[in-house]
Chain A
């Protein structure tokens, strides 16, 4: 059949008509697609949460090298500068003894007993330290062994990495687990969502098996038969897309403060409002693609001449 405007309009009209007249069947199919798309949207949210959570966990990890009491300010600053130049180190912060005492006092403001104890000690009991942060938490072990062998080893009293080692290791395990798990869950659930949608559309079209056969016998070309079903599939996708956005955004809005209370760095509402355009494209694109491809493949089975 010739591909022209009249035929295109006819096919779209006919697809829309099918959709309206099969409304109950369509309702079911759209429902399944909504579920599938919600799974996708949920996966996006899950990945956002886990990525931010991992980042904030890793942010918390650092190594502190406590300096010997006799080390001068200049020596300490020089060491800080040189460590900062090593690749993979995101920042080094030198905390002098006075600064450390100040911080300590501030932290324990209002705690009479501690304040008094410091006063009674007369001298500053705290050590100067270098707070070192690496870009990747896996690099701490090599950083520490580097410090052990370096020329400023003589300045360092102790490195708290050894005390924190298990915690750092655990955080690493959790974060890589979350990453791998996220990918796996995304893959498996996406596959399930696609299969369920495909099967539902296939069943919808199976119920039209006889109609397709009749159209063939009347002399309709494959394009003319398939077109309306593909359009119908796209309509399912569009409606499902709308439904998903209508459900997803309020849920995000409601859930966001709760999740933020749990992981403060995660702000879902801000994230999904910021990426509204992308979500729109993702949800509608996926919905339409699912509907169109499923219909296309499902009809093909019955087009054998």
Chain B
């Protein structure tokens, strides 16, 4: 269960975000990326968060893995306020959550297989189980044949599939996907979305941030629309309407 409770995020200093509304406060330019965000995501849901760039989608996801902390309000993941976590606790939060990034974020000097295995190594899984789980998940994403390739030897779609495999392999309760298809062509986009749907069917909560109309509409699930740091619409069976 994920809960956002009146979450506000402000940045100090000049930020050149086209749609952000900068306002002067004291000597600083305070930019409000999120403005009193209030919603819940239940376990096992598939939620798409949409909106133009600068709407605050990425900031919202970053809060869930505590890459950012809210200025005001609470972000609860399984009833734990992530803002209260001590630095040493943050890795444990991140291990509960799988994250897929637009730019893949694969480790360039590790092979595809090692990249996936890394997520298990950090939790201290034994070598035999790593071997098992990694081959299984590579089969699911269809990358078992290129498991010895380094990221630079893979295409964009292949890299993203490895990234998905890494996000999945430790069976997280929550999967965050921040523009996972932003760098992919149409065919690869559908593959990745299909994968996300499949993962969701196994019971994982999926939060997908995207500004891609096709992606969101093809999912046909709950859609939260954001603009200028605010939630403007929250529909159970939404469509991309901006």
- Asked if B32 is at the interface of the complex by the 8 Å CB criterion, the answer is no
- How many whole Å from A241's CB to the nearest CB in chain B? 25
Taking CB atoms, residues of chain B closer than 8 Å to A217 are: 65, 67, 94, 99, 101, 105
CB < 8 Å neighbour of B124 from A6, A17, A210, A218: A6
Q: What CA separation (Å) do A22 and B92 show in the bound complex?
A: 30
Q: What CA separation (Å) do A305 and B67 show in the bound complex?
A: 7
- Asked if B17 is at the interface of the complex by the 8 Å CB criterion, the answer is no
Taking CB atoms, residues of chain A closer than 8 Å to B109 are: 17-18, 21-22, 211
- Asked if A7 is at the interface of the complex by the 8 Å CB criterion, the answer is yes
Taking CB atoms, residues of chain A closer than 8 Å to B90 are: 305
- Stretch of B22-30, B44-52, B114-122 at the chain-chain interface: B114-122
Q: A211-B109, A217-B94, A218-B94 are in contact. Are A305 and B87 (CB under 8 A)?
A: yes
Q: What CA separation (Å) do A229 and B66 show in the bound complex?
A: 25
Nearest chain B residue, comparing its CB with the CB of A219: B94
Q: A214-B105, A215-B118 are in contact. Are A7 and B124 (CB under 8 A)?
A: yes
CB < 8 Å neighbour of A215 from B95, B97, B107, B127: B107
Taking CB atoms, residues of chain B closer than 8 Å to A210 are: 105, 108
Interface contact B108-A211, CB-CB below 8 Å? yes
- How many whole Å from A90's CB to the nearest CB in chain B? 64
Q: Mark A214-246, 1 if CB is under 8 A from B, else 0.
A: 111111111010000000000000000000000
Taking CB atoms, residues of chain B closer than 8 Å to A213 are: 105
- Majority secondary structure of chain A interface residues (helix, strand, loop or mixed): helix
Size band of the A side of the interface?
20 to 34
Interface contact A219-B119, CB-CB below 8 Å? yes
- Asked if B80 is at the interface of the complex by the 8 Å CB criterion, the answer is no
- Asked if B166 is at the interface of the complex by the 8 Å CB criterion, the answer is yes
- How many whole Å from B232's CB to the nearest CB in chain A? 29
- How many whole Å from B241's CB to the nearest CB in chain A? 31
CB < 8 Å neighbour of A219 from B87, B107, B122, B126: B122
Taking CB atoms, residues of chain A closer than 8 Å to B95 are: 219
- Asked if A123 is at the interface of the complex by the 8 Å CB criterion, the answer is no
Interface contact A10-B65, CB-CB below 8 Å? no
- Asked if A109 is at the interface of the complex by the 8 Å CB criterion, the answer is no
Q: What CA separation (Å) do A222 and B90 show in the bound complex?
A: 10
Taking CB atoms, residues of chain A closer than 8 Å to B118 are: 215, 218, 220
Nearest chain A residue, comparing its CB with the CB of B96: A219
- How many whole Å from A19's CB to the nearest CB in chain B? 10
- How many whole Å from B94's CB to the nearest CB in chain A? 3
Interface contact B105-A219, CB-CB below 8 Å? no
- Asked if B123 is at the interface of the complex by the 8 Å CB criterion, the answer is yes
Q: What CA separation (Å) do A224 and B120 show in the bound complex?
A: 12
- How many whole Å from A9's CB to the nearest CB in chain B? 9
Q: What CA separation (Å) do A10 and B90 show in the bound complex?
A: 22
Interface contact A224-B108, CB-CB below 8 Å? no
Q: What CA separation (Å) do A17 and B101 show in the bound complex?
A: 25
Interface contact A214-B107, CB-CB below 8 Å? yes
Q: What CA separation (Å) do A22 and B121 show in the bound complex?
A: 21
- How many whole Å from A159's CB to the nearest CB in chain B? 76
B residues at A contact (CB < 8 Å): 65-67, 87-88, 90-95, 97, 99, 101, 105-110, 118-119, 121-124, 126-127, 166
Q: A6-B124, A221-B88, A224-B122 are in contact. List 5 more A-B contacts (CB 8 A).
A: A2-B124, A214-B105, A217-B65, A219-B122, A221-B122
